[in-house]
Structures are given as C-alpha cells and as structure tokens.
Amino acid sequence: MPDFATLALFCAATLALLLVPGPAVLFIVTRSVAQGRSAGLVSVLGVHTGSVVHVVAAALGISALVAASATAFTVIKYGGVAYLVWLGVRKLMTRAPAEEVAEVEVHSRRRMFWEGFVVNVLNPKTAIFFLAFLPQFTDPAAGPIAPQILVLGLLWMALGMTTDGTYALLSSALAGRVRRSTRARRRLDIGSGLVYLGLAALLTGEKA
C-alpha cells in the first residue's frame, strides 16, 4: 500500500487539481445556480458515483499492465506526465469566448443524479486522466497495484466530493459573475494550466 508520504503528496496534488474548476465543476455550478444548492449537491453525488467506474477500470487495467510488463508500466507513468504537460499547455493557450450564458432546464433530483453519473462515466478524458494520474503515486515494490489504485481513487473521490460540494454551496452567489466574465474565465484557465505543469514537474522530479 502507498506509504504516508506518498498519500500526503497525492492529497496535496489532488486538492491542487480539484480546486481549479473543470467541466464537472461547471456542470455542478450550473445545476446549483439553476435549481439551488441541494440540486448542486445531488449533481456532486452523481458525478463522483461515476468516478467509481473509472477508478475500478484504472485499477484493473494498470494491474494488468504491471503483470504483463514492468516496462509498459513505466511507459504509462511517463506518458501520464506528458499528458499533464499537454493539459497545462492547452489550458494556457485557451481563449474564452466573449459570452457563454446557457439556458438550463429544471430537472428532478433523480435525473440530475443520473445526468452527473452519465456525464462522468462517458467522458473519455476522465478515463484517460485517471490512467495518467493515479499510477504516478503507485509502487510495484509496495505490493499489488490494484489495491493501491483503489485506495488512491477513494481518496480522490472523498476530496472531490468535498471541493465540489463547496462549489455547489457557494455557486448560487458567485457563479453568475464568473460564468459571465471573460477575464475571470481566462484567469481560471491560466491557473489550471500552471497547476498541471507544476504537478508534471513535481512528479518528474520524484522519479529522478
């Protein structure tokens, strides 16, 4: 299992990533603004229930890679760092449109839960991200990879529900301004890009 230092580093890196709003946060904020805080919290639960699918898939897939080839596992870890760099550069080069105000229909809480679940499960970028991020904090010498991935995935989900829940609680008052401000969205993109690049640099240093 991952040691305490690895878990602490993972939690710090995860919080840095989760605090920068992404597509899931936008979905949660939109629902919270349209139908209130409880709707946002239901959306949070749906999104992170969907994360279970990706965590299990990552655990099984990465474990199979380790069983097949240690070299393949090393390649996927360095590929993960490269993916984080690509995400960071893409965010820094993003130019937000002048206006982006969407009409949001009112849905039942059950429908919002399943929308959040499906949005997350069917997002290939989420699957790729888990495959790229979680292996950075595993160590074949510490034991089987699958349990390590599951532990890291559960930590990710717990932290994600905390940060996304906070966004849901605050978004009713703040999200309208952010969504209508090109400057604010641009600052979020820059912040996100720097977080991705900084994390990639940190993980590369850990391997040295």
The answer to whether the CB of 122 falls within 8 A of the CB of 49 is no
Q: Which of 49-63, 78-92, 147-161, 179-193 has the lowest mean pLDDT?
A: 179-193
pLDDT at 54: 84
In eight-state DSSP terms, residue 151 is H
Tokens of 150: 């599951």
Kindly tell me if the per-residue pLDDT of 126 is higher than 90: no
Number of Cβ atoms within 10 Å of the Cβ of 195: 20
Residue reference for tokens 């809480």: 109
Query: pLDDT band at 77, cuts 50/70/90?
Result: low
Per-range mean pLDDT, top range of 70-74, 143-147, 160-164: 160-164
What sign does the CA torsion over 132, 189, 111, 14 have?
positive
pLDDT at 68: 62
pLDDT at 142: 80
Higher pLDDT pick, 110 / 162: 162
What's the whole-number mean pLDDT along residues 162-169?
A: 88
Higher pLDDT pick, 94 / 53: 53
Per-range mean pLDDT, top range of 109-113, 119-123, 125-129, 185-189: 109-113
- pTM to 2 decimal places: 0.68
Kindly tell me if the per-residue pLDDT of 136 is higher than 70: yes
pLDDT at 138: 84
Kindly tell me if the per-residue pLDDT of 180 is higher than 60: no
What's the whole-number mean pLDDT along residues 138-157?
A: 87
CA angle 96, 118, 23 (to 5 degrees): 20
Tokens of 155: 């930590």
Per-range mean pLDDT, top range of 1-10, 87-96, 126-135: 1-10
pLDDT at 103: 47
pLDDT at 95: 65
Query: pLDDT band at 99, cuts 50/70/90?
Result: very low
